[in-house]
């Protein structure tokens, strides 16, 4: 089993961190391959809560090497802050944390660019996390103004690059708003060169290290950030993030060839949430939505925004399960649905008078779809202490089995709370 990928099958926040944490011990490397500090991973261990945005979840396990792959966009102050917080909490972080020299760097002008562009977009705003993710990826793909982590370690080159890039960025920012914040190239150079020095021990060619690891029979665990419906190519474009958050990002974002991936675990919340703009057919605008939000503490880890909540959508899940080649599903936060007397499960859509079984990832068409629900009885009792599938209330078991049947992928794990122990392994029947 050389490489496993843990990937979200919805719009992010599926509690991937808990599953990565559970699997970390069986692996030698844990790799983030996409996104940046827009992700929010909460891991609860023995009553201690760790919140990570940029660092791989594996960093909590010093025996394992944690890798920030080339596909990630790195905001150095955030990197250093998370490392500092972990050390303060007694977690050892040193040679076990590596950052690709090819990962791109987020600068404060990226944050300002995003703030002004999102502000100007008003109604059609994507509702981004404001972490500079989109503008940094734009510069990466545009090639003229992207700066890689490896360049932070080459002061002469970095100075020259920033003295060329920053005047352009200042002109761009002023064109977006008269009140735009602008930047001093030399001051940014000094600041980022200092970050580079502090990060130096972690920066290397991570692709080479991972390939060597594979050659030595080591096990790799890829940790996706965001969910597959936010994938820039396969998600509900343009209401997506700027990276490949599906399994498609693994090879481009880590340098590990596709052929090594042998297991894909799809992470699914027992209901659906979405943060930011974009269509969401099963969204609940009523008291039930609010009940789920409160019970699931559905407020963004990164931004604190209330998440939009709704019923589980098996049309979307069939699409993302196929897209990722998912072998098995981990169904998370089942305990939250204990607040519902009855549970609805979207099994198809109605769109312009037609029944639709296929998910239209095209946002405009998706916005015209209405869910067709199947209704199942709720269980209305606390299931957070249950540890065996057979001990779940009948209605909860029926719900899990129905989801697996509708999606066409076995559910091998059910989570009934944030702690590691609150996990039920489901044996194949
Ligand atoms: P960006 O990634 O900050 O550019 O935001 C683009 C879209 O992805 C917005 O709708 C965000 O709310 C959403 N998004 C980004 N990261 C996450 C995440 O970790 N969880 C859920 N949604 C996210």
Atom number in ligand 1 closest to CA 13: 20
- Tell me the CA–centroid distance for residue 224 and ligand 1, in Å: 13
pTM for the structure as a whole? 0.96
Atom number in ligand 1 closest to CA 278: 10
| Structure confidence by residue, pLDDT tens digits, 278-315 | 999 999 999 999 999 999 999 987 778 899 999 999 99
| Structure confidence by residue, pLDDT tens digits, 362-416 | 899 999 999 999 999 999 999 999 999 999 999 999 999 999 999 999 999 999 9
pLDDT exceeds cutoff 80 at 277: yes
- Tell me the CA–centroid distance for residue 240 and ligand 1, in Å: 7
Highest averaged pLDDT of the listed ranges 34-43, 54-63, 120-129? 54-63
**Integer Cα distance of 274 and 284 in angstroms:** 11
| Structure confidence by residue, pLDDT tens digits, 117-152 | 988 887 778 999 999 999 999 999 999 999 999 999
**Integer Cα distance of 367 and 389 in angstroms:** 37
pLDDT exceeds cutoff 90 at 49: no
- Tell me the CA–centroid distance for residue 9 and ligand 1, in Å: 14
- Tell me the CA–centroid distance for residue 60 and ligand 1, in Å: 24
- Tell me the CA–centroid distance for residue 120 and ligand 1, in Å: 18
**Integer Cα distance of 195 and 174 in angstroms:** 27
Highest averaged pLDDT of the listed ranges 51-55, 166-170, 424-428? 166-170
**Integer Cα distance of 335 and 417 in angstroms:** 7
End-to-end CA distance of the chain: 23
**Number of neighbouring beta carbons within 10 Å of residue 301:** 17
pLDDT, position 201: 97
pLDDT exceeds cutoff 80 at 44: no
Measuring from atom 2 of ligand 1, which residue has the nearest CA? 241
Q: Which of 6, 7, 12, 132 to mutate to test the pocket of ligand 1 (most atoms within 8 A of CB)?
A: 12
239 token code pair: 């209401």
Task: Find the residues whose C-beta lies inside 6 A of ligand 1.
Answer: 11-13, 38-40, 126-129, 131, 133-134, 225-226, 230, 239, 241-242, 275-276
All residues at 6 or more sequence positions from 179 whose CB lies less than 8 Å from its CB, including other chains = none
Atom number in ligand 1 closest to CA 39: 19
| 268-425: CATH class | alpha beta
What's the mean pLDDT when you consider all of the chain?
95
Q: Which of 55, 137, 230 to mutate to test the pocket of ligand 1 (most atoms within 8 A of CB)?
A: 230
**Integer Cα distance of 398 and 414 in angstroms:** 13
Would you mind telling me the total number of residues written for the chain in this entry? 429
Classify residue 151 by its DSSP letter. G
| Structure confidence by residue, pLDDT tens digits, 314-330 | 999 999 999 999 999 99
- Among 41-45, 112-116, 296-300, 326-330, the range scoring the smallest mean pLDDT is 41-45
CATH of domain 104-199: 1.10.300.10
Measuring from atom 11 of ligand 1, which residue has the nearest CA? 128
Centroid of chain to Cα 200: 26
Atom number in ligand 1 closest to CA 225: 19
- Has domain 3-100+206-264 been given CATH number 3.40.440.10? yes
Measuring from atom 20 of ligand 1, which residue has the nearest CA? 12
- Among 82-91, 259-268, 305-314, 346-355, the range scoring the smallest mean pLDDT is 82-91
Percent of the chain with pLDDT over 70: 99
**Integer Cα distance of 96 and 98 in angstroms:** 7
- Tell me the CA–centroid distance for residue 348 and ligand 1, in Å: 26
Measuring from atom 15 of ligand 1, which residue has the nearest CA? 38
Measuring from atom 10 of ligand 1, which residue has the nearest CA? 276
- Tell me the CA–centroid distance for residue 128 and ligand 1, in Å: 5
Measuring from atom 1 of ligand 1, which residue has the nearest CA? 128
Measuring from atom 5 of ligand 1, which residue has the nearest CA? 128
Residues designated as active site: 13, 41
Domain ranges (residues) in the chain = 3-100+206-264, 104-199, 268-425
pLDDT exceeds cutoff 70 at 1: no
């Amino acid at each position: 089993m050389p490489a496993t990928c843990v990937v979200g099958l919805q719009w992010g926040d599926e509690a991937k961190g808990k599953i990565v944490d559970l699997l970390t011990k069986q692996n030698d490397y844990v790799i983030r391959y996409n996104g940046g500090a827009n992700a929010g991973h909460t891991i609860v261990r023995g009553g201690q809560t760790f919140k990570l945005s940029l660092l791989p979840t594996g960093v909590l396990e010093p025996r394992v090497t944690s890798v920030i792959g080339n596909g990630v966009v790195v905001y150095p102050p955030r990197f250093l802050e998370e490392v500092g917080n972990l050390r303060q909490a007694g977690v050892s972080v040193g040679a076990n944390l590596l950052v690709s020299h090819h990962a791109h760097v987020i600068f404060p002008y990226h944050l300002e660019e995003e703030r002004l562009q999102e502000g100007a977009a008003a109604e059609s705003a994507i509702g981004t996390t404001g972490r500079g993710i989109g503008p940094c990826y734009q510069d990466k793909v545009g090639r003229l103004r992207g700066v890689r982590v490896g360049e932070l370690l080459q002061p002469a080159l970095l100075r020259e690059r920033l003295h060329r890039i920053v005047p352009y960025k200042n002109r761009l920012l002023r064109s977006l708003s008269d009140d735009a914040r602008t930047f001093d190239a030399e001051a940014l150079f000094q600041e980022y060169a200092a970050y580079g020095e502090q990060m130096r021990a972690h920066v290397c060619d991570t692709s080479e290290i991972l390939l060597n690891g594979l050659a030595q029979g080591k096990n790799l665990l890829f940790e996706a950030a965001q969910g597959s419906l936010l994938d820039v190519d396969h998600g509900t474009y343009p209401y997506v993030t700027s990276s490949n958050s599906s399994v498609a990002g693994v090879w481009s974002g880590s340098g590990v060839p596709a052929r090594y991936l042998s297991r894909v675990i799809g992470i699914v919340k027992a209901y659906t949430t979405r943060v930011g703009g974009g269509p969401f057919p099963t969204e609940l605008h009523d008291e039930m939505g609010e009940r789920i939000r409160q019970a699931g503490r559905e407020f963004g880890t990164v931004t604190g925004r209330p998440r939009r909540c709704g019923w589980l959508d098996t049309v979307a899940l069939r699409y993302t399960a196929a897209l990722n080649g998912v072998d098995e599903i981990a169904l998370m936060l089942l305990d939250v649905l204990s607040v519902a007397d009855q549970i609805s499960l979207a099994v198809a859509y109605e769109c312009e008078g037609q029944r639709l079984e296929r998910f239209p990832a095209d946002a405009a068409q998706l916005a015209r779809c209405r869910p067709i629900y199947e209704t199942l009885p709720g269980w209305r009792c606390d299931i957070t202490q249950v540890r065996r599938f057979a001990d779940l209330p009948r209605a909860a078991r029926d719900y899990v089995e129905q989801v697996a049947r509708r999606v066409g992928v076995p559910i091998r794990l059910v989570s009934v709370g944030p702690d590691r122990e609150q996990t039920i392994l489901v044996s194949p029947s």
